[in-house]
Chain A
Amino acid sequence: MKRFLLLLPILIFTTTSASAQDFKRPAPGYEWSFPRDHANHSDYAVEWWYFTGHLLPEGADPDDMENWINLELTFFRNSLPGEGSGELYFSHFATSGNGQPFAYGEAIARGILGEAGSDDNMMKVWLDAWEASLIDTTFVLEAYDDDVGGIRLTATATTTPVLHGEDGYSPKGPGDAEASYYYSLPFIDATGWYLPGADENATSLEPIKVTGRLWMDHEFGNQQLGGGLVGWDWWGLELPGGDALMFYRIRRGDGEAIPQSEGTFIGRDGRRERIHLDQITIEPTGSWTSEASGATYPFGWSMTIPSKKIELNVTPLYEDQELRTDGSTRVTYYEGAVEVTRKGVEGSTLGFVEMVGYDR
């Protein structure tokens, strides 16, 4: 699920029946083929690639969570309805940590002259100078923005893709049409360079050598979405001890999650297990209000999955990790690094949380 709804404000005006007919609709039984499926699916109207992750400067203490550089780099492709209308590409790029404040950049492009695009055969998606691609088995991420800073990373996945829902068919509502294809690559080892943004607090404008871990999400489909939905919460967490958890909750207007909300537990041994809404309890432990948007977000959660004897405490590392993307997707959302502790297991780990729809 995740950022699928991001495009809602834009598409709400343009989603016509014609466009739905122009593009394929997700259905169960998709035959996955990697690495091809990392690439673009132009038969589907909407597609996105989402990289989040945490990078540690060479020589820094990994136990001090503030040393970690948290990263978000996303690409959205959105086919416009009507013949000859082409596509719109959006991209968001954000960093925080290691003494730098949270900063983000956004971009929009038509992709009509090759300034943005995505390849149908091999994974390569780009918008101006921001790019994510897969060369053989190595992911390459590059982005630079004056405020946000720059990254140049090579990364290798340590697991096979984790298919969510029903073999990657991920329902997003009660109707057949309300679904997408969705998988993740939770443990990607990354190494490369990070350049702090041109913020006045920047201590160094030299590139810093970094190593760390990325999490990739890839989702595609068309935009048939159920009515009455206001937003969603998403967690992608590496757990102390080596397991990982993805869970999303799609919220209705009354704040309740729809029953199709679900997630996937990924064991350190490679085991995957679908987690349904009734298997998990999620209680907010605090709240934070954005001065810029006025939105009040939950801030910290205790999560329990009794069947798996998992009890987690999830706490955002920084308060303001809100993106207000008037220049691209026109959505205000919170995409922030969190620290995770697990009852009965030593230490803490990092993850990301996304919260959308709190500004309305």
Chain B
Amino acid sequence: MRPLTRFVYRGWLSRPGRTLLAIGGVALGVAVLLAVRTANFSAIEAFGRTLEMVAGRADIEIFAEGDGSFDGREFARFTRMPGVRSAAPVYTLAGQVGDSLRGVRLLGVDMARDSQMRPWYSAELREQDDYLAPFTQPRSVLMTPALAEELGFEKGDRFLFHHAGILDTLTLLGLLRGEDVSIAQTRDIMVMDLPRAWELEGHMGRLHRIDLLLKPGVDVNEAAEAIRASLPPGMRAEVAGWKRPQAKKMLASFRLNLTALAFVALLVAGFLVFQTVATTALERRKNAGVLRSIGASKGFIRRMFLLEGLWLGVAGSVVGIPLGLLLAKGAVDAVTRTVQSVYLLETTAQLFLTWETILSSAFLGIVVSLGSVWPLALEASRVPPRESMSRQVLEDRMRPRKLALFGALILLLAAILTRYPFKAFPVHSGYATSALYILGVALVTPWLLGVLHRIINLLIGWRLGSALRLGLSVLVRSRHRITPAIAALATAVAMWLSVDMMVRSFRLTVDTWVRGTITADLIITTEGGMSVRKDILLPLEAFTNLQGAPGIEDVDHFRTARVPYDGLPTTIAMVDMGSVHRQQRLHFASTIRDESPTEPIVRGEPACLITEPLAFRADLSPGDTIHFPTPSGPAALRITGVFYDYSSDAGMVLVDRPWFIEKWQDDRIESIAVYIPDSLSLAEGRLAIRRALPKDVQVEIFTNNELRSSVLETFDNTFAITYALEAVAIMVALLAVGGGMASLVAERRRELAILRSMGGSKVQLMKRVLFESGLIGAIGWGLGSALGVVLSIVLTFVVNRYSFGWSLALIVPWGQIALSGGLMVAAALLAGAVPAVHASRIPVAQGVRVDSE
């Protein structure tokens, strides 16, 4: 063995506990980074599938203007179209099932191959003998498990189906399986083979919709354009989603934010690695002095330190990666269980693991370890042998003010980047800014400790603040030891808070999105379904009885039109502003001070509300006037409020019904949102609506609440895991605190022993050490809270805004900040317990010996 290696190796063996702690520190840092990244991505992926279910899979939907159904002969050519992966015809019927007249939608689909579009029923049926039963048995349907359960139906049951004045007896052939059926929107669905569905009302060959799925890489807008050009008059092709791209964007945003937070976890882990490696390496300083005095070269000393760092890094990574994988696996299993229990899905949350994640975790372990010993290596090789044997000197060499100045410059740079980010690279710019903030705070910390000390000195008299002053002075004196621990803690707290803010913001965004997708308790539309029926208009007269009918609290009539604005087709949405005002269902991003955004509109003032994407795109704010064309000439409306809504990229203008009818000279509507009192169930609400409508009106009634709550439930469950991982990050930070306190106690061995010899009790000593730990916790928390708010601002206003054109709602979680404060101090006390006990047990006689170290 070469002397260098042997030296490091011997050192490890002579202090196995310390060595293990150092390796453990590195390993935990590596593990937590790996686990946070992996679990976050897995949660996102799992949740993404849920969102996809709501939005539907089709890329393009083709439908008819006017009466709703069209000649199915239009269908065949889409199956031959280049770029189309699969085409699925859809025919829909609305009706009621059983004695309870439960409203359901019956979809006629091509059962032979609809699985390409909606992989829900084929799997089960194909494994059974009755694979062909849907084709060969007339009047037989498949049903969602939820609907069958609600109705108490079992396979083989026959039941009545009322539709368009016809009474049919249908047979339940089996249950639908797959991911889609879990969602309330598709809960009320029965599926039938297309020709069999035609037989019910004799509409042979008619379709309501064609869903197209494109091949990967085909531009959806170009494809839609090409299809539009080929459609006969009266037919329309729309990119299916005004919903789906939004869902995609939303997911992309979540992913980005969580990546940023995983990156913060990296920094927490980095501080722990620094803390442990530096502490171990510091032990070597004395050795270095001795070695130098017996003739070792500077290069030898440097290499010795670097080798130490390298080995700690490698050993820690080797232990940390399997540990991280185990941790991530546990987390992902938890996500899977959640998804399965909530949805009864057969889906598994994938372990979203990439080599990049593994390698970057190992890279962190090794590079940060090396980086941590680098300054020590330089310093130890430079100092004269005599000096290196004393501890205090390093202190003098660390110049808090110089570091703080450097830190302040970094913070300034970060602030500038927050205000003026590189808009071309919002993501990287945002990451860099976050890193700068964290680094800046870490660099300023030693100086800040001194300042804090002085302020406390000034503010508090000797008696009152003796413990505080004493504790602070200890920390100030040993700030080189304590700073990484404080920085780790601050970063972990910042991560906790910004993850919390982010997840809350996501939740609100999701909630708003779901609400925007389907509003109100119940929605009345024409037969045929939500996503397509925008162009089939309902005569207003049929619904005049609804407002004020028993069991109905409020009614909002909805209609949209598209006008060009600022170069993009922009949606003008007609609503009953009175209902919007009463239901308070919009979340405003900005309004005019001291003025209700909806009241002037309700009063009949020419005013409107606009969505945030529109405000951002066209640089509009409340108080501005928006001009756009209408069938009766140009219109100008004052904007009274900007509200959160992500249902349309191009944005939306909300106007009141009378104004719209006047300008468009058309009082027909697309859908009606119905609000029912809380005391009524949705089923009762449905009945109330049915009673209030004329008998001959064929409509469908959808519910929103089930959908919303089930989406939010998944959200909460899938993201619960991120909190668990934050807890791990905080534990890592606390290990740093424990390690820091331990080395602090070791360093002050003599001082503590003298205190004992002067009559200090064991309990007093323990109290002092604990107090110092608590102080670290408090300071870390304080810095972390500030940092957390700053990071959230960066994520919200830099990363999200410039990459997605919208801001997440920024929520400052005061409750969480307070909670984390208490928790941090308590946890820091816990982390200080072992060093405190250790301090109280220092033998006095041995401890006071000058050369005891």
Q: Say whether A and B bind each other.
A: yes
Cα(A84)–Cα(B193), bound, Å: 11
B112 contacts which of A14, A81, A109, A114 (Cβ < 8 Å)? A109
Residues of chain A within 8 A (CB-CB) of B593 are: none
A216 within 8 A of B: no
Residues of chain B within 8 A (CB-CB) of A82 are: 136-138
Cα(A80)–Cα(B111), bound, Å: 14
Q: Check B136 against A80 for contact (C-beta < 8 Å).
A: yes
Q: Check A86 against B76 for contact (C-beta < 8 Å).
A: no
Q: Check B80 against A113 for contact (C-beta < 8 Å).
A: no
Write the B126-138 contact mask toward A (1 if CB under 8 angstroms, else 0). Answer: 0001111001111
Q: Check B215 against A88 for contact (C-beta < 8 Å).
A: no
B377 within 8 A of A: no
**B137 closest partner in A (C-beta):** A82
A176 within 8 A of B: no
B199 within 8 A of A: yes
A115 within 8 A of B: yes
Cα(A287)–Cα(B131), bound, Å: 34
Q: Check B76 against A110 for contact (C-beta < 8 Å).
A: no
Interface set, chain B 333-364, CB cutoff 8 A to A: none
B89 within 8 A of A: yes
A295 within 8 A of B: no
Q: Check B129 against A112 for contact (C-beta < 8 Å).
A: no
A34 within 8 A of B: no
Chain A nearest CB: distance from B114 CB in Å?
10
Chain A nearest CB: distance from B531 CB in Å?
21
Knowing A84-B196, A86-B195, A88-B112, say if A113 contacts B76 (CB, 8 Å).
yes
Residues of chain A within 8 A (CB-CB) of B73 are: 113-114
Cα(A186)–Cα(B76), bound, Å: 32
Q: Check A14 against B215 for contact (C-beta < 8 Å).
A: no
Cα(A109)–Cα(B79), bound, Å: 11
Q: Check A13 against B130 for contact (C-beta < 8 Å).
A: yes
**B113 closest partner in A (C-beta):** A108
Chain B nearest CB: distance from A85 CB in Å?
5
Interface set, chain A 274-303, CB cutoff 8 A to B: none
A135 within 8 A of B: no
Q: Check B110 against A84 for contact (C-beta < 8 Å).
A: no
Knowing A13-B131, A13-B132, say if A114 contacts B75 (CB, 8 Å).
yes
Cα(A14)–Cα(B110), bound, Å: 19
Q: Check B135 against A115 for contact (C-beta < 8 Å).
A: no
Interface set, chain B 97-136, CB cutoff 8 A to A: 110-113, 129-132, 135-136
Q: Check B131 against A129 for contact (C-beta < 8 Å).
A: no
Cα(A114)–Cα(B136), bound, Å: 19
B110 contacts which of A13, A85, A112, A129 (Cβ < 8 Å)? A112
B205 within 8 A of A: yes
What range describes how many residues of A lie at the interface?
20 to 34
Q: Check A85 against B76 for contact (C-beta < 8 Å).
A: no
Knowing A82-B136, A88-B112, say if A112 contacts B130 (CB, 8 Å).
no
A146 within 8 A of B: yes
Known A-B contacts: A110-B193, A128-B80. Give 19 more (CB < 8 A): A10-B132, A13-B130, A14-B136, A81-B136, A84-B138, A85-B135, A85-B136, A86-B135, A108-B113, A110-B111, A110-B194, A112-B194, A113-B72, A113-B110, A113-B194, A114-B72, A114-B73, A115-B76, A128-B79
Interface set, chain B 750-780, CB cutoff 8 A to A: none
Residues of chain A within 8 A (CB-CB) of B205 are: 113
Residues of chain B within 8 A (CB-CB) of A85 are: 135-136, 195
Interface SS of chain A: loop
Interface set, chain A 209-248, CB cutoff 8 A to B: none
A13 contacts which of B87, B129, B215 (Cβ < 8 Å)? B129
15 contacts between A and B (CB under 8 A): A13-B132, A80-B136, A81-B136, A82-B136, A82-B137, A84-B195, A85-B135, A85-B136, A86-B195, A109-B113, A110-B112, A110-B193, A112-B195, A128-B79, A129-B79
Write the A41-79 contact mask toward B (1 if CB under 8 angstroms, else 0). Answer: 000000000000000000000000000000000000000
Write the B71-91 contact mask toward A (1 if CB under 8 angstroms, else 0). Answer: 011011001100000010100
What range describes how many residues of B lie at the interface?
20 to 34
Q: Which 8 A-B pairs have the closest CB atoms?
A: A114-B76, A113-B75, A128-B79, A129-B80, A115-B76, A115-B79, A113-B72, A85-B136
Residues of chain B within 8 A (CB-CB) of A84 are: 138, 195-196, 199
Knowing A81-B136, A86-B135, A115-B75, say if A110 contacts B196 (CB, 8 Å).
no
Write the A81-93 contact mask toward B (1 if CB under 8 angstroms, else 0). Answer: 1101110100000
Residues of chain A within 8 A (CB-CB) of B110 are: 109-110, 112-113
Cα(A13)–Cα(B195), bound, Å: 21
Residues of chain B within 8 A (CB-CB) of A114 are: 72-73, 75-76
Q: Check A80 against B132 for contact (C-beta < 8 Å).
A: yes
Interface set, chain B 157-202, CB cutoff 8 A to A: 193-196, 199
Chain B nearest CB: distance from A112 CB in Å?
5
- Measured CB to CB, the residues of A under 8 A from B are 10, 13-14, 80-82, 84-86, 88, 108-110, 112-115, 128-129, 146
Residues of chain B within 8 A (CB-CB) of A112 are: 72, 110, 194-195
Cα(A235)–Cα(B33), bound, Å: 62
> Which of A80, A109, A128 gathers the greatest number of chain B CB atoms within 10 Å?
A128
**A127 closest partner in B (C-beta):** B79
Q: Check A14 against B195 for contact (C-beta < 8 Å).
A: no
Residues of chain B within 8 A (CB-CB) of A13 are: 129-132
Residues of chain B within 8 A (CB-CB) of A128 are: 79-80
Cα(A129)–Cα(B195), bound, Å: 22
Residues of chain A within 8 A (CB-CB) of B138 are: 82, 84
B135 contacts which of A80, A109, A113, A129 (Cβ < 8 Å)? A80
Residues of chain B within 8 A (CB-CB) of A86 are: 135, 195
Q: Check A10 against B136 for contact (C-beta < 8 Å).
A: no
Chain B nearest CB: distance from A141 CB in Å?
15
**B74 closest partner in A (C-beta):** A113
Cα(A14)–Cα(B112), bound, Å: 15
Cα(A109)–Cα(B194), bound, Å: 12
> Which of A10, A84, A146 gathers the greatest number of chain B CB atoms within 10 Å?
A84
Chain B nearest CB: distance from A39 CB in Å?
19
> Which of B73, B80, B137 gathers the greatest number of chain A CB atoms within 10 Å?
B80
Chain A nearest CB: distance from B594 CB in Å?
60
Cα(A329)–Cα(B553), bound, Å: 56
Residues of chain A within 8 A (CB-CB) of B207 are: 113
Residues of chain B within 8 A (CB-CB) of A14 are: 132, 136
> Which of A108, A109, A115 gathers the greatest number of chain B CB atoms within 10 Å?
A115
Chain B nearest CB: distance from A197 CB in Å?
14
Chain B nearest CB: distance from A46 CB in Å?
14
Chain A nearest CB: distance from B243 CB in Å?
26
> Which of A10, A113, A115, A128 gathers the greatest number of chain B CB atoms within 10 Å?
A113
Chain B nearest CB: distance from A12 CB in Å?
9
Residues of chain A within 8 A (CB-CB) of B131 are: 10, 13
Residues of chain A within 8 A (CB-CB) of B199 are: 84
Residues of chain B within 8 A (CB-CB) of A108 are: 112-113
Residues of chain A within 8 A (CB-CB) of B111 are: 110
Cα(A114)–Cα(B73), bound, Å: 7
Residues of chain A within 8 A (CB-CB) of B193 are: 110
Chain B nearest CB: distance from A117 CB in Å?
9
Cα(A24)–Cα(B740), bound, Å: 91
**A16 closest partner in B (C-beta):** B136
Cα(A115)–Cα(B194), bound, Å: 14
Cα(A86)–Cα(B135), bound, Å: 8
Cα(A13)–Cα(B131), bound, Å: 9
